[in-house]
Copies of this chain bind each other. A is one copy, B any other.
Amino acid sequence: MPVPLYQAKAEFFRMLGHPVRIRVLELLQDGPVPVRDLLAAIDVEPPNLSQHLAVLRRSGIVTSAREGSSVVYQLAGGDVADLMRAARRILTAMLTDQHDLLEELRSSDVGTP
């Protein structure tokens, strides 16, 4: 019996739910990047980055390949950029709503009609 789809989706989103992993995925969007460069870009200790990379690898969203003495990561497939765009749209909408609400509260400080 297969894993219910909503559970697979939840695991997928949970996998995305860490700042370091988000940054890695963003850095990989323009093509393969060696771990060395990720380390230089992300303010995180090597073992810690490695663990986050392992999470991404296990989920299947990235693949890794040895190249000489270094290891290069790349997106496995699918349009991650598209997902990030969708997320950004929603985040923007949410923040805008909150902002609008704030404005509303500000302009009507005498209570509800």
Chain A interface residues toward B at CB < 8 A: 4, 6-19, 21-23, 26, 59-61, 76-80, 82-94, 96-98
Contacts and interface: CB of A to CB of B under 8 A. Distances in A.
A18 B23 contact: no
21 contacts: A6-B19, A6-B22, A6-B26, A9-B87, A10-B17, A10-B18, A10-B22, A11-B17, A12-B91, A13-B22, A13-B87, A17-B17, A60-B97, A76-B93, A78-B91, A78-B93, A78-B94, A79-B86, A79-B89, A79-B90, A83-B86
Contacts of A59: 94
A3 to B, nearest CB: 10
A60 B98 contact: yes
A82 B77 contact: no
A101 B22 CA distance: 26
A99 B77 CA distance: 13
B94 A61 contact: yes
A89 B78 CA distance: 7
A94 B26 contact: no
A9 B12 CA distance: 14
